Amino acid sequence: MDQGRLFVEQHASDETPWFLWVGPPGPHDPFDPPGEWAHRYDPKMIDPGLRRFSTNPLARMRAEQMQVKEASDRQIQEMRSLYYGGISFIDHKIGQQIQDLKDRGEYDNTWIIFTADHGEFAGDFHLTTKGQFHWQADRIPLVIKPPAKFSNIPRGTHADALVEFIDIATTICDIAGGAGPGDCGMSLLPILKGEVPLAHHRQVAHSQVGNTFMIQTSRYKLIFQDKDRIEVQALFDLEHDPGELNNIVADEPEMVNQLITEVVKPFFESTSDRLEDPWRDTSPWQQWGRSPHLEAMEP
């Protein structure tokens, strides 16, 4: 992140627009924040979280394979204290970069977008890292600070609008006045200009890990395998169960069928899984989709 500060120092006064992407490796496991940040939080003061298995059979199967279920509350608290220390260290570094922009008189001219690639279970449901579709892993931050000249923007406002990662790239292209071929994203720029309501963006968000899929609407989260045969594993009612504790798939067969018919099938029929260059991922890693919520737009 210090290299990002150096870039700002070198280019803040440029007459032409510039783009900077800074990707800190943390707060990722192993949880090892540097120096005093490792001792910033007292483990005894930290909630050990949900010491229970998920009602999603896929998440439970994964937890059964992990040793987290055998950890004591104290061990979970210690782990979380280090995780939180890593988050605070990154916050500190971001604050330095923002102050650099202010010191150079460029803060009001600069778009700032903050997000993350995934969340962290940190012991909840006897899990760590990611890979399962609970809010701990798939509800990630998206904070956008527009330049001061956009006076109609609803600043300092929070929303639960559904957003996908691909929307961020599309938004950046839209800000720059361009577009990519075969772009499946939805630009947030109309929201950021105050032209459309903040509360709604996508009606449906999709995320995928291998052959496991998650489709989320404003109320329901449906988790299934094999998009052709659709083997449903879990259904959560986010309105009545925001913590995603109760899998109601066996209790709501009609809702499951309705979501498959009205949401899942139309989504896959209208969405190609073959992306054109330059969007196509040619890396050896499996492609991951995320569905962050539009959390906040700060002043």
- Please give the helix or strand (H or E) that residue 75 lies within, else none: helix 73-103
| Structural domains present in the chain | 1-132 (no CATH), 157-275+287-299 (3.30.1120.10)
Where are the alpha helices (H) located in 117-225, listed in sequence order? 135-138, 165-176, 189-192
Return the residue matching tokens 């803040």: 12
Kindly give the pairing relationship between strand 296-297 and strand 231-237. Answer: unpaired
Is 80 exceeded by the pLDDT of residue 161? yes
And the tokens for 129? Answer: 């890292």
Given pLDDT bands bounded at 50, 70 and 90, which one contains residue 286?
very low
In terms of Cα–Cα distance, which of 52, 21, 8, 188 is closest to 117? 21
Beta bridge partners of 63: none
Q: What is the pLDDT of residues 23-55, one digit of tens each?
A: 998 898 999 999 999 999 999 999 999 999 999
Average of per-residue pLDDT across 152-156: 78
And the tokens for 175? Answer: 């800000």
Given pLDDT bands bounded at 50, 70 and 90, which one contains residue 288?
very low
Query: Is the dihedral angle over the CA atoms 152, 174, 107, 83 positive or is it negative?
Result: positive
Residues in the chain: 299
Q: What is the pLDDT of residue 285?
A: 46
List of residues 6+ apart from 232 with CB closer than 8 A: 222, 223, 224, 249, 256, 260
Q: What is the pLDDT of residue 297?
A: 38
Q: How many CB atoms lie within 10 A of CB 191?
A: 24
